[in-house]
């Protein structure tokens, strides 16, 4: 049963990601990105990372996507002009990327744990909010505090960047 879910969501993720790269209309790209992010959240659930799945939908598919759509609206982005497909680049990307993926999967099979299977519910990894929260507020509390500072800096930076000069 888990295998069925994995194949369905993996196919959905790869198809929507490819559509994001292939289509030219920015709104279509944004919708493809939403679908890809939701598929990724579903894959997190198949990996028993329930809290991360929720965070993925709320932060990525929610907040980040709203940001993207707002910017598309603000910039009034047109469809990318058609041009001759850069075949040299495409061949280079496919060649180098395909070789890298092949090499990565080869290297991955060298690890003793890469053939490992696990039944649903067997994992001791712990994906619940309670377990993650315990880790976040004990071992990783300095990082958690630093994240707060990071978000503050990002907020101030965005406000400064988007302010119009009063003189001009």
Site for another protein in 107-126 (CB under 8 A): 108-109, 113-118, 123-126
Q: How far is the CB of 14 from another protein (least distance, A)?
A: 6
Q: How far is the CB of 121 from another protein (least distance, A)?
A: 11
Q: Is 56 exposed, middle or buried (0-12, 13-18, 19+ CB in 10 A)?
A: buried
Residues 139-168 that bind another protein (CB under 8 A): 140, 143, 147, 150-151, 153-155, 157-158, 161-162
- Residue 147's contacts (CB-CB under 8 Å, 6 or more residues apart) are none
Residues 54-73 that bind another protein (CB under 8 A): 55-56, 59-60, 63-64, 67-68, 71-72
Residues 21-60 that bind another protein (CB under 8 A): 21, 26, 29-30, 33, 36-37, 40, 43-44, 47-49, 51-52, 55-56, 59-60
User: Hunting for tokens 């090499």 — which residue is that?
Assistant: 103
Q: Is 40 exposed, middle or buried (0-12, 13-18, 19+ CB in 10 A)?
A: buried
> Cβ distance 39 to 57 under 8 Å?
no
Q: How far is the CB of 166 from another protein (least distance, A)?
A: 15
Among residues 6, 12, 35, 54, which is the contact residue for another protein, using CB under 8 A? 6
Among residues 73, 91, 95, 131, which is the contact residue for another protein, using CB under 8 A? 131
CA angle 158, 81, 71 (to 5 degrees): 20
Among residues 8, 73, 91, 104, which is the contact residue for another protein, using CB under 8 A? 104
Q: How far is the CB of 107 from another protein (least distance, A)?
A: 10
Task: Give CA–CA dist 56/44, Å, rounded.
Answer: 9
Contacts 24+ apart (CB under 8 A), 115-120: 119/2, 120/1, 120/2, 120/48
């Amino acid at each position: 049963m888990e295998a069925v879910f994995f194949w369905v969501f993996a196919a959905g993720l790869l198809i929507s990601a490819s559509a994001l790269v292939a289509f030219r209309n920015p709104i279509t790209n944004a919708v493809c990105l939403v679908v890809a992010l939701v598929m990724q959240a579903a894959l997190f659930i198949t990996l028993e990372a329930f809290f991360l799945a929720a965070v993925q939908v709320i932060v990525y598919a929610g907040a980040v996507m709203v940001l993207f759509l707002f910017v598309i609206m603000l910039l009034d982005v047109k469809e990318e002009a058609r041009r001759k497909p850069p075949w040299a680049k495409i061949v280079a990307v496919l060649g180098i990327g395909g070789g890298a993926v092949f090499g990565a999967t080869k290297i991955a099979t060298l690890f003793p744990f890469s053939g490992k299977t696990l039944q649903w519910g067997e994992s001791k990894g712990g994906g619940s909010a309670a377990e993650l929260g315990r880790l976040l507020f004990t071992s990783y509390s300095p990082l958690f505090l630093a994240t707060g500072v990071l978000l503050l800096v990002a907020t101030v930076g965005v406000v400064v960047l988007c302010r119009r000069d009063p003189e001009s």
